[in-house]
Amino acid sequence: MKFKSILSLFAAGALLAACNNRVSVSDTGLKYQIHDQKGDGRKPKIGDILTVQLVLKNSRDSVLRDTYKEGRPLQVMLQTPPFKGSFEEGLAMLAKGDSASFFVSADSLFTRMMQPLPPGIAKGTDIQFTVKVLEVQNEQEFQKGQAAAREGQIKVDAKIIDAYVAKNSLKTVETPSGLNYVIVKEGDGVKPVAGNMVSVHYVGKLLDGKEFDSSYKNPQSGGKPVDFPIGQGMVIPGWEEGIMNMKKGGKSTFIIPSSLAYGEAGSPGTIPPNSVLVFDVELVDVKNAPKQQ
Query: Active-site residue among 110, 129, 142, 262?
Result: 262
CA distance linking residue 205 with residue 202, whole number of Å: 10
| CB of 131 closer than 8 Å to CB of 139 | no
Active site annotation includes 110? no
Query: Taking residues 102-119, what's their average pLDDT?
Result: 90
Q: How confident is the model at residue 14 (pLDDT cuts 50, 70, 90)?
A: very low
For CA atoms 94, 96, 102, 108, the dihedral sign is: positive
Catalytic residue, candidates 66, 212, 280, 285: 212
279 is catalytic: yes
* Amino acid identity for residue 157 in this structure: D
Q: Which residues contact 164 (CB under 8 A, 6 or more apart)?
A: 170, 207, 255, 276
Q: What confidence tier does 291 reach under pLDDT thresholds 50, 70, 90?
A: low
Checking if the pLDDT of 5 tops 80, the result is: no
Q: How many CB atoms lie within 10 A of CB 74?
A: 21
Catalytic residue among 66, 107, 236, 280: 236
Active site residue 213: yes
Query: Catalytic pick from 202, 230, 254, 255?
Result: 202
Integer angstrom CA distances of residue 215 from 191, 265, 280: 21, 23, 11
Q: What are phi and psi of 155, to 5 degrees?
A: -70, -40
* Mean pLDDT, all residues of the chain: 89
Determine whether 202 is an active site residue.
Answer: yes
